[in-house]
Structure 1
Amino acid sequence: MLQLVVERVSIHAGVIRGLTPRGSRSLSDCVRILACRSHPPASPRRESSMPRRQSALILCSALLLAGFTGLAVSQVSDTDPAGEYGEKWHILTVPGTWDEQTEGKLDNYDGIAWYRCLITIPGGWREKEVLVRIENVDDAYEAFFNGTPIGGSGAFPPDYQPGDPEPVELAVPEEAVKAGKNLLAIRIFDHDGRGGFKGAAPVVLSGDQGINLNGLWEFRTGDDEAWAEGPVAITNTGIFWRTMAKDAAIELAKVESTALEPAEAAATLVVPDDLEVVQVLSEPEVRQPLYMNWDERGRLWVMNYIQYPYPAGLTMVSKDEYWRAVYDRLPEAPPNHFPGADRITIHEDTDGDGLFDAHKSFVEGLSIATSFTKGRGGVWVLNPPYLLFYPDADNDDVPDGDPEVHLQGFGFEDTHSVANSLRWGPDGWLYACQGSTVSGNILRPGIDKPEQSVHSMGQLIWRYHPESRTYEIFAEGGGNSFGCEFDAKGRVYSGHNGGNTRGFHYVQGGYYQKGFSKHGPLSNPYSFGYFPYMQHHDVPRFTHNFIIYEGGALPERYSGKLFGVEPMQGQVVQAEIFPDTSTFATRDINRPILTDDKWFRPVDIKAGPDGAIYVADMYEPQISHREHFSGQIDKSNGRIYRLQAKGAEPHVVPDLGALSARELIEVLRHPNKWYRQRALVLFGDRKDGSVVEELKAHIREETGQFPLECLWALNLSGGFDEEFAAEALEHADEFVRMWTVRLLCDDHTVSDSIADQLASMAAGEPYAQVRSQLASSARRLPAEQGLPIVEELLARSEDLADVHIPLLLWWAIESKAGESREMVLELLSEPETWELPIVRQHILSRLMRRYAAAGSRQDLITCAKLLRLAPSKEHTDQLMKGFEEAFQGRSLATLPEELVKAIDESGSASLVLQVRQLKPEAVQEALSIAADGGGDAAQRLALLQIFGEVDLPESVDVLLGTISGDAGDELKMAALTSLMRYDQPRVAEAIVAAFPSLSADAQAAALTALSSRAAWSKALLQAIAGGRIAAESIPLDTVRLMTFHQDQDVAELIGELWPDVQGASNAQMQAELADATELLKTGSGDPYRGKQLYQKSCGKCHLLFGDGGRIGPDLTSYQRKDQSRLLVNIVNPSAEIREGFESYMVLTEDGRVLSGFLFDQDENVIVLRGVDGQNVTIPRETIEEMAPQKKSLMPEGLLKDLNEQQIRDLFAFLQASQPLNN
């Protein structure tokens, strides 16, 4: 009997370990449970033939003989199959059983295990009944909601009974439901057979809504009641949040379909009669294939995106509703990184039968690596946040050393939007995409300082020139850009993750539509327009990746057509692409690949060396980042298919790298675009000057595609110069001309003779796409060279309705509007120019709006010059349209006299302008309107502000009435600022009397006013000393400001009220900094609560994502990922003051002391912006002294009033990469 029991103990070692987490159970507990487990009842209610007590004694003896004591069992054999699953939490998919998902390690495990996940409960559900629906669990279970038991089905040992496989709905007590994240824990006892969720995932229900919990859960064998309460690592388990109709949630919780074996899946694909599909790769050779490319030997390279969706080794601190995450740190670049699961594999057809039979890896252990390309003596790998170069000079597929970091700063907040699709352009630049829900702060290590980073938000096409180490944004906007295609003419495309289009055609320097509220504004605030996607009929979303087929091996009817993947629908689409002015439109023709296999998820599509189309299939039950982030992802699969002509013979690719330079020239004639593009990469690698003259001869003498290819090869070989370019600008082929323009202007300068030739070309060029490139390139040139090109293109009235050209011309003009404004105005010096259709319809209002929106004194005076240049009232109206657009929601109170006069002469003078001119009738009307509490608020605001800009002592009564009445804060703040102009004792008395009833914002403006004059400061201090105003409500910065008054009474009162008005010591700030640093290492923050805190504090002075005050620096492009630097600037704001935001102290002739940022200035006035957000304009002639201050206007101690969680929340928002939607 003893031998039998010891064997049984051995068999159940995993159970002992599983039931006995370290320190959680006594030995007697284990024996009690094992006594039941060792002799399971034949039926739910039958007892074992061996008395349970006797069994327990035998087991106890056996355990003692085996070396166990009365301590909790905490060590098991290395061969224990359940051991690792009892040591820590693992991730399993629900629905599913643990037997199926643990590589056989839990096949024999029968015992207790726990599953846990997080659920975000909508706020509205807290007032309703919340239910948890559970079904078909093997065998018994009980559930806990935030640690509160809510019931279950069946019974656990020693009185084991199996649970009901039918759905059970468990009610959650109202007090157990929390707003935000909730922990659902389910304890399961498996008697025998498979354990876990056999048929469906749990569903959380409320009313007619539900959240299905189909995805990744935490899993652990063993038993500890503390596990019902967490914590749960949010980087490891899904946070389920998506609400839907109740019936849909219940249906989606079920296992919809099962994965097919590779051959079975291939058999389901349906293609046209003249095509056939071959499965060329599948798991385990490839898994999660995201990106494909071929080398010069015709070998297929594949990016296996296995680490997705979570970066390896990082902890998520927070994320927003768009799944943009903030992680605890930036990962280091390889080889010092935390290894991930991504890998680049190489696949070769060694016997020429068309199938890949040799497989190896180039590099493994990457994390969130999206794409790669060979060239320049190695392999370039896009591994956000880095662009890496793995040298492989001997081309042996083994890196020669550690990778070099060429670029850093690519955001990885959202791993389905990270920088992707790296490839060579025909011009020798590396091109790639950046997705919609990430940011960029791109630096060249060893070259750029942090403040020199190129900042971007959201989707764009970027490029990098390895030799010159130049990075630039090629075009901005688009969909969730994932896929970068070049057609035979070198035009750039990318797909779209929305519907009703197949994607975008990108031109150099273009701004494109995007989801502005979600992805942030365009980088240029004066773009005043953007390009749409390629027009298409209504279709469901989406085609993120497509090619223009130019491979030459499929039947002719497919040539030149667009082939795109539709991962959501599980199919491939074919569309016609045709001209639409200087861009394109598309129209669907067919679906060349269809299937009823719901797991078919094509994500990449390429044309290969054999002219066939290759499709990478991630093979997933769904393709949705949110579901993937919630755990609904299968990383074990991956297939690649070849779509080829019916009966196509295998294609053997010659080693292009073995060809001479002259032999490569002939490859440029190949009908398959892949050969030509790969040959160009080799030209760029070699830079062989021996073929320059031959290439020039081909360009001069040949027609068709070949001379364009030779032009690209000439440039890559170092033979493109201005002498030859002057010839090429007159070439018969429009695309040779187009690319000659582009290559000439890429380095931002040309000779004067070439500039003259480009301007002449602009006047007569017959092809719209060449004119489009001329407009793009003119923007890159200096104004004296670019604007003459623009001037000629403005006269091309045939481009009035072009989709691209008018805006490209505007952006070219706008780029010169600041530093070269006189040259821009010279464009409009002739009345005939104003009559040009493009000028009237697209330029005039935008130009006036641009200067008015910029708003400096110089810009506003330029507005006046434009008004004087306008040849007619009709043109003036066009200008004023733009002016009014710029000033929507802004005051006209601070316009310079020159502009006021110009507007007045134009016949469009407003009441504010007339008040500035002190016209008696206008002044009386203004006073009446400003005093009318029921009047228009915007008009009252403008008038209250103008009363502080002009001498109108009669306005004091109206201003005082405003601050003591029931006007809104904005009006009161304007009145308080304007009152500073009038040195009357009653002003201070009225402000002090009104102070307790003012809002916090208005009190800030009141303190600015009171502290500006010695007598007013004395009145304030006396009110504080008398107890009418609390001393605690006065910021130390205001106190410090009052010390600048040369007044004995003021000094004595300050000394009595604030014996020490110095700021926090360095030691105090260092301690606060250390505490905050440690705090942010623990826990996570909620960016939405953080946004509310931001709006109450930082947002009063700083813009972030276009929201907030305009006192301090705009934080949007600030290095907010650098947590330590961000902390320093908050805790000790004077440690580093951003250039342009230094504080100035100004003493005026009339005794005022003013402090603020130097917001604007010219030879006549300066404009200070105070901490209250109000602008004060001061004539220079009234300034006695003006000096910069070493202390920041930003107050210290901003974190002191926040609790620990609020600090985490604030930083979660401050470090968000893109705006949040409420």
Structure 2
Amino acid sequence: SAEPLWALYVGGGFDETLAKDLLAHPNEDVRMWAIRLQGDTKKIGSAFRDALVALAKTEPSPYVRAQMACTAKRLPAADAFPIVRELLQRADDANDLQIPLLLWWAIEDKALSDRDLVLGLLDTPESWKAPITRKTIVERMARRYAVEGDYAACAKLIADAPGKDFQDLLVVGLDKAFEGRRLETMPAPLAAPVAALLKAEPAGATLLSVAIRLGSADAYADALRILGRKNLKESDATTLIPLLGQIGSADCLPVLLSFLQSGSTAVKGAALAALQPFQDPAVAPAVIKALPGLGGAHRARALSLLTARAPSSLLLVQAVAAGALKPSDIPVAELQRMAAFENAELHALLLKHWGKVGAPTPGEKLAQLHSIRNIMGKNPGGGDRARGKAIFTKSCAVCHTLWGEGNKIGPDITTADRKNLDVLAMNIIEPSAVIRMEYGATQVLTTDGQVLVGLVVEQSEGALTLLDANNNKTVVPKSRIQISKASALSLMPEKLMDPLTDQEILDFFAYLQGDTPLAAAPAPKADVLPGTAPLDKQGDLSAEMVAGIDRFLLREIEGSVEKRAAFWKRDTSTKDAYEKSVAPNRERLKRILGIVDERAKDAVPEFPIPANQAGFGFALATSDAFQVRSLRWPVLRGIEGEGLLLIPKEASGPFTIVFPDADQTPEMMAGITPGIPEEQQIARRLAEAGCFVLVPTVIDRADTWSASQIGRTTNQPHREFVYRPAFGMGRTIIGYEIQKALAFIDFVHRPERTTPIGVFGIGEGGLLALYAGAVDPRIDVTWVGGYFESRQKAWEE
């Protein structure tokens, strides 16, 4: 345990000599905190540094290695980098989610202040080839120095790279550094290295991209020639086409427009994205011409391109007026986007072909909600979930996930309050009413009048990347951005329900409000397995299943007495023999309950002082017979128990733990707040009888409050989680509650102590008491009240 170390540190007894000695301590927490506390001084002596360097080679704990990386960031480079160098060689951390990035954090912090020492980390071929360096450091180092404009450092990295594979990693880093921008002329330090790379072998698309971004006119001409080839590789096209969209000039337009008619699916998508910045008069007519042949995401991308500017929006609406496109070809979201432009001719055509397309009034929204209520109320169960799923996939899945299907641009609605029709409908009718922070959109106005809206998913030195409601990414060079501001509107458009018929509304909500994912299409008819029959039941199958499980469990309980001999080998000759004979059964019960984690060792409870009780000492309440204090005690790593400790003034009884019912608080059980009749205040009565009493806080079954910004409660009280084991982790809430009691017993129990230990429980707390007494032989008495019904016959077991 690290608690004594903290006490030494606070009391002034911690120094570097002790820290060095503690690096050999068997407990990983002690080693970790010794490094943390000494490192926080931001200076260390050579002896401690050498000890850390040696430890970095052999330290088995990833927690300690992560702390060493964090400490290295705080130290001067001369002390930090010998440690970093050794940690970079730890191949076992190459796939860790944190340690490689913590090491990059330590390196990047000194990239400018200690440039030569940073570059010195890659002074041998072996240092380049370390898995962490190769996977995490090389590309980022090139990108960092390129963004800073230290082209000499970039040139040195290229020169020192021990082979083409590492040069390619550096090229990728340079390409990311210059995303969205192009230099006027090639920086002098990079001219020779880049020329050498281009001459070494036929240039790859990424290298050409870097050369173009660095101002090479020859590389730009080569890119246009490559894109004009008949045998163009798709990978080259999808690398070079976005580049032209970011920094290309008008001379690349013919090549980009040609891909709308002849390119592959991926190439067409790249071309549409690349055409976004161009306001050349030839672009919009070509995209409109290609629209009938585009589908899915490409069609959405094309419409987004056209509706981002007023002139191209007018051409699109005129194409509908001329009969080249149907009004139904234009989604509501794009109509509303066009309606925002101040263009009288555009507004007139919108009104003529689509009617009012602006935002609905509050009255219209309320009327639509009433309409949905009426449709659903008159036809309960009248929807077809399969048809509803098709509507969801078309209208919602591009942004939202339900039952694991869809995208994550917007919130996952699987766990939303879907049974509440009003809540569900209003979130669709008025999507901008409440927008969670992480889903807030940004609106960008470019210097050429283009309006783009999306989530900011990446920012670099030269560009902003937006993700729109159609799951399309657009890289906007910052040089093109005139205004960037948070949008008050959700990416989710309004009026999504307008095109739906009454039957489609029934189908749509039948799918949205379903309790389970929609079953896949039935497999071809197969032979029926022996002893089975096709399932042809109707009605609520989930309720039927629960009833069947209940019947099965009752049968098993009834028959358990006859089966007991096969599973229990009780030896009642002596107490020790009995404990040994049932030990395997106890261990199996622990696994079933999820009591599988090692509890905190040598843990010491503490008496926290509530903020509003500072003037009254530790005691929350005092009576003639006992005193009440709040208590907190370590349970598992990162998990603590909390509750009240009742301390009798004349201690004569055992230590007791009282689990309250799930809607009762420790204060109620102690009699210091109302809520429980006096005769049921078990904790108070035990304390008055001379017992030490711990009352842990348990999950409140009456608590249905949600932290949602919309201020609504959840549709499931927290007590439900008590009965929902986390099978994927092998742990349960019940197990955690029991661990709280066992951790306190770890503290109070001593082999030489004769004072008995008892566990009491009321209601759901009775369940916890029963299980705690069953798994831990240190508990002498278990008292259960108000939990079991007569039919359960559990006491007979």
TM-score, length basis structure 2: 0.50
8 A Cα contact 1:775 1:789, kept in partner: no
CA contact under 8 A between 1:980 and 1:1009: conserved in structure 2? Answer: yes
The 3 A distance-change label for structure 1 pair 1001 and 866 is farther
**Cα offset, 1:763, TM superposition:** 3.0
Q: What is the DSSP-based 3-state SS (H/G/I as helix, E as strand, rest coil) of the residue aligned with 2:445?
A: strand
What per-residue deviation string (whole Å, max 9, x for no partner) do you get for residues 991-1022 of structure 1?
A: 22221221132221111221223221111111
1:1042 paired residue number: 338
Report the residue type matching 2:512 in the other structure: I
Contact 1:1040 1:1061 in 2 (8 A): yes
* Structure 1 segment 65-214 matched on structure 2, within 5 A: none
Match of residue 1153 from structure 1: 451
Q: Look up the SS of the partner of 1:1147 in the other structure.
A: strand
Q: Supply the distance in 1 between the matched residues of 2:388 and 2:150 (Cα, whole angstroms).
A: 41
User: Which amino acid letter does the alignment assign opposite residue 835 of structure 1?
Assistant: D
Indicate if the aligned counterparts of 1:963 and 1:972 stay in contact, CA closer than 8 A.
yes
Q: Which of 1195, 1201, 1216 is equivalent to 2:493?
A: 1195
**C-alpha spacing 1:864/1:851, structure 2 compared with 1 (3 Å):** farther
Alpha-carbon distance, 1:1218 to partner: 13
2:19 corresponds to = 729
Q: Counterparts of 1:1006 and 1:786 in 2: how far apart (Å)?
A: 53
2:121 is matched with which residue: 833, 836, 839? Answer: 833
Inter-CA distance 1047–843: structure 2 relative to 1 (3 Å threshold)? same
Matched residue, 1:1067: 366
Which of 166, 179, 182 is the equivalent residue of 1:894? Answer: 179
Is 2:291 the counterpart of 1:995? yes
Q: Deviations over 1:175-223 (max 9, x none)?
A: xxxxxxxxxxxxxxxxxxxxxxxxxxxxxxxxxxxxxxxxxxxxxxxxx
Q: How far is the alpha carbon of 1:1207 from its aligned partner? A: 2.9
Is the CA contact (8 Å cut-off) linking 1:787 and 1:813 kept in structure 2?
Answer: no
CA distance in 1, matches of 2:92, 2:292: 57
Please give the alpha-carbon distance, in whole angstroms, between the structure 2 residues aligned to 1:1213 and 1:893: 46
| Cα deviation digits, residues 802-842 of structure 1 (max 9, x gap) | 6646777x944513646983336767632542136456413
Retained in 2: the 8 A contact 1:1143–1:1188?
yes
Q: Which stretch of structure 1 is more off in the superposition, 907-916 or 715-724?
A: 715-724
Q: Which residue of 2 aligns with 1:822?
A: 109
Q: Which of 62, 69, 82 matches 1:792?
A: 82
Aligned twin of 1:960:
257
- What is the match of residue 534 of structure 2? none
In 2, Cα distance between equivalents of 1:863 and 1:1128: 54
SS of equivalent residue, structure 1 residue 1156? strand
Alignment match of 1:874 (pick from 142, 161, 168): 161
Q: Secondary structure at the match of 1:975?
A: helix
Task: Look up the equivalent residue of 1:1041 and give its one-letter code.
Answer: R
Distance in 1 between residues matched to 2:377 and 2:235, nearest whole Å: 47
1:1109: how far off?
A: 6.0
Cα distance in 1 for residues equivalent to 2:223 and 2:28: 58
1:1171 aligns with 2:461: no
SS of equivalent to 1:829: helix
More helix per residue: 2
CA distances 1:40-90 after superposition (whole Å, capped 9, x unpaired): xxxxxxxxxxxxxxxxxxxxxxxxxxxxxxxxxxxxxxxxxxxxxxxxxxx
Alpha-carbon separation, structure 2, partners of 1:908 and 1:1106:
45
CA displacement 1:556-583 (0-9 Å, x = unmatched): xxxxxxxxxxxxxxxxxxxxxxxxxxxx
Q: Name the Cα RMSD after superposition.
A: 5.4
Aligned equivalent of 1:937: 234
Equivalent-residue separation in structure 2 for 1:1038 and 1:968 (angstroms): 26
Deviation at 1:1066, TM superposition (A): 3.9
Q: CA 1:1089 to 1:1210, structure 2 compared with 1: closer, same or farther past 3 Å? A: farther
Aligned counterpart for 2:246 among listed residues 922, 928, 949: 949
Equivalent residue of 1:1146, what SS?
strand
Letter of the 1:1155 partner, please give it.
Answer: V
Cα distance between partner residues in 2 of 1:1089 and 1:1126: 19
Q: What is the identity percentage for the equivalent residue pairs of Structure 1 and Structure 2?
A: 18
**Aligned pair in 2 of structure 1 residues 786, 911: CA closer, same or farther (>3 Å)?**
same
**Which residue of the other structure, out of 916, 927, 936, is the alignment partner of 2:224?**
927
Deviation per residue, 1:627-656 (Å, 9 max, x gap): xxxxxxxxxxxxxxxxxxxxxxxxxxxxxx
Question: Structure 2 matches for 1:412-427, cutoff 5 A?
Answer: 427=1
Inter-CA distance 1076–900: structure 2 relative to 1 (3 Å threshold): farther
Q: What residue in structure 2 maps to residue 226 of structure 1?
A: none
Q: What's the CA shift string for 1:355-384, capped at 9, x where partnerless? A: xxxxxxxxxxxxxxxxxxxxxxxxxxxxxx
Q: State the distance in 2 between where 1:1121 and 1:730 align.
A: 52
Asked if 1:1027 is matched to 2:314, the reply is: no
* 1:759 maps to 2:49: yes
Inter-CA distance 821–1078: structure 2 relative to 1 (3 Å threshold) = farther
In the alignment, is residue 976 of structure 1 matched against residue 264 of structure 2? Answer: no
Is the 8 Å Cα contact of residues 429 and 496 (structure 2) preserved in structure 1?
yes
**One-letter code aligned to 1:734:** A
Q: 1:1029 to 1:841 in 2, by over 3 A?
A: same
Cα deviation, residue 762, structure 1:
0.7
Q: Does 2:297 align with 1:1008? A: no
Q: Kindly state the Cα deviation for residue 1151 of structure 1 after the two structures are TM-superposed.
A: 3.2
Counterpart of 2:311, as a letter, is A
In 1: Cα distance, 2:51 partner to 2:374 partner? 65
Uncovered stretches (5+) of structure 2, i.e. residues with no partner = 199-206, 520-714, 716-725, 729-797
d(CA) in 2 for partners of 1:1023, 1:957: 22
| Residues in 1 aligned to 2:210 and 2:4: alpha-carbon distance in whole angstroms | 61
Query: Deviation at 1:970?
Result: 2.7
Aligned length: 496
CA spacing shift, 1:1186–1:842, aligned 2, 3 Å: closer
- Say whether the 8 Å CA contact 1:962–1:975 is kept in structure 2: yes
Q: Which residue identity is paired with 2:456?
A: L
Structure with more of its chain in strand, by fraction = 1
Partner Cα separation in structure 1 for residue 376 and residue 63 of structure 2: 51
Q: Distance in 1 between matches of 2:387 and 2:106?
A: 42
Matches within 5 A, 1:432-451: none
Q: What residue in structure 2 maps to residue 778 of structure 1?
A: 68
1:913–1:727 distance in 2 versus 1, CA, 3 Å: closer
Give deviations 1:9-60, integer Å, cap 9, x for gaps: xxxxxxxxxxxxxxxxxxxxxxxxxxxxxxxxxxxxxxxxxxxxxxxxxxxx
How does 1:9-20 map onto structure 2 within 5 Å? none
Q: Are 1:775 and 1:793, in contact at CA under 8 Å, matched by a contact in 2?
A: no
Distance 2:326 2:122 in 1: 62
1:515-526 mapped onto 2 (5 Å cutoff): none
Provide the secondary structure at the position in 2 that maps to 1:1100.
coil
| Secondary structure, aligned partner of 1:834 | coil
Which one-letter code corresponds to 1:949 in the other structure? Answer: Q
Distance 1:1198 1:1161, change over 3 A: same
> 1: CA distance between counterparts of 2:170 and 2:404?
21
Output the amino acid matched with 2:314: K
* Cα distance change of structure 1 residues 1212 and 752 upon mapping to structure 2, 3 Å threshold: same
Change (3 A) 1:817 1:1203: same
* Alignment correspondent of 1:322: none
Q: Distance in 2 between matches of 1:766 and 1:1048?
A: 70
Match of 2:314 among 1018, 1036, 1039: 1018
CA contact (8 A) 1:851 1:863 kept: no
* Correspondence 1:531-570 to 2 at 5 A: none
Superimposed CA distance per residue, residues 941-966 of structure 1 (whole angstroms, 9 cap, x where no aligned partner): 2222222122332222222222123x
| Match 1:844 to one of 117, 133, 143 | 133
1:913 aligns with 2:210: yes
Return the alpha-carbon distance in structure 1 between the equivalents of residues 159 and 274 of structure 2: 37
CA contact (8 A) 2:453 2:468 kept: yes
Opposite residue 366 of structure 2, the aligned amino acid is A
> For residues 858 and 1077 of structure 1, what CA distance do their matches in structure 2 show?
61
